Chain A
Amino acid sequence: MIAIEHYVVLSAVIFLVGGFGFLVRRNVLVALMSIEVMLNACNLALVALNRSRLGAIGQSGFAGGNHTGQVFAFFVIAAEAAEVAVGLAIVLAFYRLRSTVRSDDADLLKN
């Protein structure tokens, strides 16, 4: 069995990749994708930690335990879907307005 530390470290690395991508890339589509990466890193951590906890309870012979982490991951996926729908709509509207998807050009409210 793969130790829990591997999952957590992988999740942290993916999260940092997503966060770094969000900070440095100017393309709005890539920024959206970076957000997806960060959320999925969270999902990975949630599912892995929940599984490891259930495993610990199973070894102690205690029946039951909860699946909050697993269910929470589904909620995150649902929120992601909604976020992507809105985000892509914004990107489309922005593209129609300015013919670009660079976030630097979203400066209509500036000055």
Chain B
Amino acid sequence: MPIALDPNDYALIALILGMPLLGAFVNGIWGHRLGKRAVSLMALLAVGVSFLLSVAAFVALAHLTAESGDAQVKLGWTAWQWLRTSTAQGAIVLIDARFSIDALSGMMMLVITGVGFLIHWYATSYMAEDASYARFFAYLNLFVFSMLVLVLADNLPVLFVGWEGVGLCSYLLIGFWYEKAPNAAAGKKAFIANRVGDFGLLCAMLMLVHYTGALDWNGIANAAANLVRPGEPFRVHLWPPGGGQYPAVLHFLQPDRPFTISAATAIGLALLLGCTGKSAQIPLYVWLPDAMAGPTPVSALIHAATMVTAGVYLICRLSFVFVLSPFTMMIIAVIGAGTALFAATIATTQNDIKKVLAYSTISQLGFMFLGVGVGAFTAGFFHVFTHAFFKACLFLGAGSVIHAMHARIHDDDKAQDIRYMGGLRKWLPLTHWTFAVATAAIIGFPLTSGFFSKDEILFRAYANHLKEVGLYEPPPWLSPVLFWVAIAAATLTAFYMCRLYFLTFWGDFRGWTVGRPSQAAAEELASRGAEHGSQRDDLSRPGYAPHESSRHMTIPLILLAAFSLFAGVVNPGFHLVAEPPMEHWLRPVFAGAVTDSIVVRSDAGRIEIVSAAFGFLAFAFGSIAAWWTYVAKRGDPADRVARAVPGLYGLVRDKWRIDELYDATVVAQVDSLAETASVVDSVLVDGIVSRLPSLIVAVAGSALRIVQNGVVHTYAALMVVGLVAMGWFFAVPHPNAAVTAIDGADVTVTAAPGIGYSYRWDADGDGRPDAPQFSPESMVKLHGSPGQIMNVNLEVKNAFGFVAARAVHFTVPNAPPPSP
């Protein structure tokens, strides 16, 4: 039965978007009066209803797709007409606030609202004790809204609104406990690092408007051929910048041929900069580990499952632009593989449970970038999909562990330190099992979701090639290098995740004495007087054991673990099914990009098995190494490595000191610039604007203070002086006259008016008045020859009968030259 709906006016999108916004609004405005139950009800309802409507929209989309065959189907809705601009060529560019659901954004929408709902549910319990409960859920709902705007946007500016919105929410939620300075600093760091990326995105938008004359997905796709067109207007000049010639003095800078790149490469690299910022890739990844300062549900929702995948989503969304530039694709793949390995090395040495997961997220995002960078957009997006489940599950499990540790360690840092954990499976059975399942998924345990998605990326990294289009050809050794780097990263992933799992849940609990003073310290305290010691824990009792979390936290964990385990069925590889459902579903989205540009090697079938074998070996080797190190030998080999190469170990533990490097270079330069500006401001600007006027005012004040002596009689006397002066002014006539009009040789002289004035003129200047009587006529007309000097005498009489006289001299001007 055909569904009666207009694909271009699918207003359900308004509700999908509106519910989280409503939740944010209600909780943000009235939340502090509503009480925790009402706040959590509102927040859960907002995301839950949004999820159900998303499912409905997804089903409708599936129906439409089935009806239309393989063509790309979109459900669109225009909220309002937003902007209207024009290109340099004069073409009108309309930018509407338009949203659309297609195969790609539909899946993202389901993940955001579905995983988002589970994490909201979890957070109602996790944040139950927090004083700013309503603020938290207002931010979280606002985040879901912004993220939905990001993925459902039908053009780049609307996407950018969502992009900035999620950045804002990320900032607000990282610094949620802003009373502590490091948390606020972490929020700022995330915001500023993202700003660098946003600069790239803005540049890309401007270039897209310039070269394609459109910013909506269809418009860009239709004009994408412009981006690789040869010839001057479609090339971006890098040297000399913007084209042109250097002047004679600088002529040695002029190259023989100007260095240009195609518009596709310039746009792709600018977009990539934006994506590396949002998705925490080299070189802008540094904010994500610090972002763990936020509450754990935030880390799960924003910094693992949804927001950080926005970069991958954008690359998938604009895949047809990226594939036009093989160079950009190569850079994406290299950045992805490099980040995957780099972050994995750091994760092996971290002790904070959330930091390990943060570096793991960066590493997994690197895998996604590698996937999309080699043109395997479906594989990259599949990893986004599975990663959302298992990484959310891992973060929420970590939250449950931290929650349990807090029962006995009242120290935020130590409660997250895996060195003080161990043996937690005894107390946290549900958390343990869900964490184990999610770990199995991320390290690629066969037949879990992560196994399928990661193996697909590994295989594609080796087998995919960009079709040679004569612009730039990546070196032939690139594919094997990417593959082996990815294998190394996968091995390290297995190692550090198993290390985390074993140190947290296996062995004996190492936290009994943490956060409590030792016996010696207690005796010392007692000798100084017991008052300090009485605030500490009572050492005579064993203290609380860690405990399992409430079912509001465990049920989301179980659901996410189930998805981590089984989500692979949507896209199983190895020809287990004729065409995997997800690949079929996304085919229309990527068809334009993939069919023309991506070649799969002819021996792909054989390679798939081999790469899967290496993937399995990576998993097996990494996890067995972790088991041997941390379970069989109880961490002894790790200590020996640390002692054998202390320099290298310290370097990795300090995150390769990249933060310090950035501080010494970029941040230091910005700081010195800021200091220079500050000196200029305080010396020059403040000198002119504030100190000079204040000096003038001070001098004038000192002078005027002499008369302002506070004695009433002085004031009265000054008033009398003033009155006398004014009286004198009015009593004496003031004869003033000026030439007011010239017409050739005719000149009019007018006397200044005054109260009760009458005038007597002597126009010919012979010393005798023209008339015996004073008259009120204040003007006199004269006639003279050009260049003649004329004398006029004026007498003025005022109402008191006083008379004053003045002689006026002027020269009759030469006649102006006759105008043609």
Which residues does A use to contact B, with CB under 8 Å?
Answer: 19, 22-24, 26, 103-104, 106-107, 109-110
Q: Are B710 and A110 in contact, with the CB atoms below 8 A?
A: yes
Query: Chain B: which residue is nearest A20 at the CB level?
Result: B720
Interface contacts beyond A23-B716, A23-B720, A103-B713: sample of 9 additional A-B pairs, CB < 8 Å, sorted by A? A22-B716, A23-B717, A24-B713, A26-B713, A103-B712, A104-B711, A106-B712, A109-B710, A110-B710
Q: Which residue of B lies closest to A107 (CB)?
A: B710
Tell me the bound Cα distance from A107 to B610 in angstroms. Answer: 100
- B interface residue numbers (CB < 8 A to A): 710-713, 716-717, 720
Docked CA distance A22–B711 (Å): 13
Please name all residues of chain A whose beta carbon is closer than 8 Å to the beta carbon of B716 when the two chains form the complex: 22-23
Residues of B within 8 A of A109 (CB): 710
Say yes or no: A19 contacts B720, CB within 8 Å.
Answer: yes
Q: Nearest chain-A residue to B710 (Cβ)? A: A110
Question: Can you list 11 A-B pairs, Cβ within 8 angstroms, ordered by A?
Answer: A19-B720, A23-B716, A23-B717, A23-B720, A24-B713, A26-B713, A103-B713, A104-B711, A107-B710, A109-B710, A110-B710
In the assembled complex, the CB of A104 is this many whole angstroms from the nearest CB of chain B, namely: 7
Taking a contact as CB atoms under 8 Å apart, the answer to whether B713 and A23 are in contact is yes
Closest B residue by C-beta to A106: B712
Residues in B with CB closer than 8 Å to A26 are 713
Task: Give bound CA distance, A22 to B714, whole Å.
Answer: 11
Which residues of chain A have C-beta atoms less than 8 A from B711's C-beta?
104
| Chain B hits for A19, CB < 8 A | 720
A43 to chain B, nearest CB (A): 19
**CA of A23 to CA of B713, assembled, Å:** 6
CB neighbours (8 Å) of B713 from chain A are 23-24, 26, 103
**Complex interface: chain B residues within 8 A of A106 (CB):** 712
Residues of A within 8 A of B712 (CB): 103, 106
Residues of B with C-beta under 8 A to A104: 711
Residues in B whose Cβ lies below 8 Å from that of A23: 713, 716-717, 720
B708 closest partner in A (C-beta)? A110
Give the interface SS of chain A, mostly helix, strand, loop or mixed. helix
Tell me, in angstroms, the Cα distance from A26 to B717 when the chains sit together.
13
Smallest distance from the beta carbon of A45 to chain B beta carbons, Å? Answer: 15
Once the chains are docked, how many angstroms separate the CA of A29 from the CA of B713?
14
User: In whole angstroms, what is the CA distance A103 to B714 when docked?
Assistant: 12
B366 nearest CB across to chain A (Å): 72
Cα A110 to Cα B710 in complex, Å, equals: 6
Chain B: minimal CB distance from A19 (Å): 7
Cα separation A104 to B711 with both chains bound (whole Å): 6
B747 to chain A, nearest CB (A): 44
| Minimal beta-carbon separation of B800 from chain A (angstroms) | 14
The 5 tightest CB contacts between A and B, nearest first, are: A110-B710, A103-B712, A107-B710, A23-B716, A23-B717
Q: Which residue of B lies closest to A103 (CB)?
A: B712
CB-CB nearest in chain A for B714: A23
User: Roughly how many angstroms separate A104 CA and B716 CA in the complex, as a whole number?
Assistant: 13
Residues of chain B within 8 A of A24, CB atoms compared: 713
Q: Complex formed: what's the CA distance from A107 to B710 in Å?
A: 7
CA distance A33 to B588 in the complex (A): 102
Smallest CB gap from A110: residue in B: B710
**Cα–Cα, bound, A7→B647 (Å):** 111
B710 partner residues in chain A, CB cutoff 8 A:
107, 109-110
Closest to A19 in B: B720
CB of A18 to closest CB in B, whole Å? 12
Q: How far is the CA of A23 from the CA of B720 in the complex (A)?
A: 9
A25 nearest CB neighbor, chain B only: B713
A47→B710 CA distance, assembly (Å): 37
Q: How far is the CA of A109 from the CA of B712 in the complex (A)?
A: 12
Question: Which residues of the other chain, A, contact B717 by a CB distance below 8 angstroms?
Answer: 23
Residue in chain B with minimal CB distance to A22: B716
Docked Cα-Cα span, A24 to B712, in Å, equals 11
> In the docked arrangement, what's the CA distance between A107 and B720, Å?
22
* A22 vs B719: C-alpha distance when bound (angstroms): 12
Chain B residues with CB under 8 Å of A22's CB are 716
Interface centre among A23, A24, A26, A107 (most CB of B within 10 A): A23
- Within the assembled complex, what's the spacing in Å between the Cα atoms of A19 and B724? 13
The distance from the CB of A63 to the nearest CB of chain B, in whole angstroms, is 28
Closest B residue by C-beta to A26: B713
A106 to B712, CA, bound (A): 9
Report how far A59 CA is from B717 CA in the complex, Å: 44
* Residues in chain A near residue B720, CB distance under 8 A: 19, 23
Residue of B nearest to A31 (CB): B712
Q: Tell me how far the C-beta of B91 lies from the nearest C-beta in chain A, rounded to whole angstroms.
A: 71
Q: Which residue of A lies closest to B716 (CB)?
A: A23
Chain A nearest CB: distance from B669 CB in Å? 52
Which residue of chain A lies nearest to B717 when distances are taken between CB atoms in the complex? Answer: A23
CA distance A97 to B711 in the complex (A): 18
Docked CA distance A107–B709 (Å)? 10
Tell me the bound Cα distance from A104 to B709 in angstroms: 11
In the complex, what distance in Å separates the CA atom of A15 from the CA atom of B710?
Answer: 25
Smallest CB separation, B368 vs chain A (Å): 74
Complex: how many Å from CA A109 to CA B710?
8
Question: In this complex, what residue of A is CB-closest to B711?
Answer: A104
Taking the closest CB of chain B, its distance from the CB of A106, in whole angstroms, is 7
- Smallest Cβ distance from B350 to chain A, in angstroms? 66
Measured CA separation A109–B715 after assembly (Å): 15
Cβ–Cβ < 8 Å partners of A110 in chain B: 710
A104 to B713 Cα, complex, angstroms: 9
Q: How far is the CB of A94 from chain B (nearest CB, A)?
A: 12
Cα A106 to Cα B711 in complex, Å, equals: 8
- Give min CB distance, A12 to chain B, whole Å: 13
Closest to B712 in A: A103
Closest-CB distance, B634 to chain A (whole angstroms): 80
Chain B residues in 8 Å Cβ range of A103: 712-713
Distance between B712 CB and nearest chain A CB, rounded to angstroms: 5
CA of A58 to CA of B76 in the docked complex: distance in angstroms?
97
How close is A37's CB to chain B, nearest CB, in angstroms?
14
Question: With A and B bound together, what is the CA distance between A24 and B713 in angstroms?
Answer: 7
B714 to chain A, nearest CB (A): 10
In the complex, what's the smallest C-beta–C-beta distance from A98 to chain B, in angstroms? 14
Complex CA–CA separation, A103 to B713 (angstroms): 9
Interchain nearest-CB distance for A34 vs B (Å)? 10
B713 nearest in chain A by CB position: A23
A109 to B713, CA, bound (A): 16
* Min CB gap A84→B, angstroms: 18
Q: How far is the CA of A103 from the CA of B712 in the complex (A)?
A: 7
Q: Give complex CA distance A103, B715 in Å.
A: 12
Smallest CB separation, A36 vs chain B (Å): 15
Q: In the bound complex, what is the Cα–Cα distance between A23 and B715 (angstroms)? A: 9
* CB neighbours of A107 from chain B (8 A): 710
A26 to B288, CA, bound (A): 79
Distance A104 CA – B710 CA, assembled complex (angstroms): 8
Smallest distance from the beta carbon of B704 to chain A beta carbons, Å? 15
Min CB distance, A28 to chain B, in Å? 9
A107 to B708, CA, bound (A): 12
Alpha-carbon distance between A109 and B711 when the two chains are bound, in angstroms? 11
The CA-CA distance from A27 to B307 in the complex, in Å, is: 81
**Bound: A106/B715 CA distance, A:** 14
A60 CB to nearest B CB, Å: 22
Task: Kindly state the separation between the CA atoms of A23 and B716 in the bound complex, as whole angstroms.
Answer: 7
Q: Whole-angstrom distance from the CB of B725 to the nearest CB of chain A?
A: 16
Q: Distance in Å from the Cβ of A102 to the closest Cβ of chain B?
A: 10
Chain A residue at smallest Cβ distance from B723: A19
B443 to chain A minimum Cβ distance, whole angstroms, is: 80
